Amino acid sequence: MRSTWRTLDPKLLRDVSAVAAGAAVSGASFGAISTATGLPWWLPVAMSVLVFAGGSQFMAVGVVAAGGSPAAAVLAGLVLNARHLPFGLAVGDVFGKGWGRRLVGAHLLIDESTAFALAQRDPERARAAYWACGVALFGAWNVAVVAGALVGRNIGDPGAFGLDAAFPAALVALLLPALKDRVTLNAALLGAAVALATTPFLPAGVPVLLALAGLLATARREPAP
């Protein structure tokens, strides 16, 4: 592992630092909004350490804050995090040997660490980039969540600060880059239509799950013979 870290260069470290700084801002927002909506401060902190998946965390807490059940929140988070399965297949080799490294490496598997690893052509450099990004973001995210959670306890009504709109705004921000693909855009539009149509009639959180019907738009039609 020591030889792996030696392959890091100033440019790579600079890029990782910039991404970690952005993660810290998002983490502070997550912690503040979570506690401002009435959740105990330790819940977003524990979730960040044990789950460490920003999009799924925002999704899960957003469902609960909107009145959805914990089961619906967990299921929604699991569905959103399902994209990590192919990520693991793509970068599994960078974890290293041994169950310890593989377990820790899998826990640090996020969009950013995967992107940094896949951007490298040299295997050793890919391993160094993955671990540097994963460790840096894990530290920055969790420290920021703790700080944000402590501040959020004193905010009071999150609606007075516009924080009630932060969850959907964060999720939209996560979604926007993927909407450049037409198939993904069609799936998102269909899912949104289903969610909007069912919201007046179903308990909070259920329309979000039914929005998975948008995946039907990704089914490829076989060409006519």
Residue 21, H or E segment: helix 10-36
Which of 161, 98, 107 shows the shortest CA–CA distance to 130? 107
Cβ atoms within 10 Å, residue 201: 8
**Domain residue ranges in the chain:** 2-163, 181-225
**Which pLDDT score is estimated for 223?**
45
**Which pLDDT score is estimated for 221?**
44
CB–CB of 215/221 below 8 Å? no
pLDDT of residue 29 exceeding 80, the answer is: yes
The 3-state DSSP class for residue 113 equals helix
Tell me the pLDDT tens digit for each residue of 162-179: 555 555 565 566 566 667
**Which pLDDT score is estimated for 177?**
67
Tell me the pLDDT tens digit for each residue of 134-163: 999 999 999 999 998 888 777 655 555 555
Dist CA 221 CA 223 (whole Å): 6
**Mean of pLDDT over the chain:** 79
Tell me the pLDDT tens digit for each residue of 172-223: 665 666 677 777 788 888 888 888 898 888 765 577 677 777 777 666 544 4
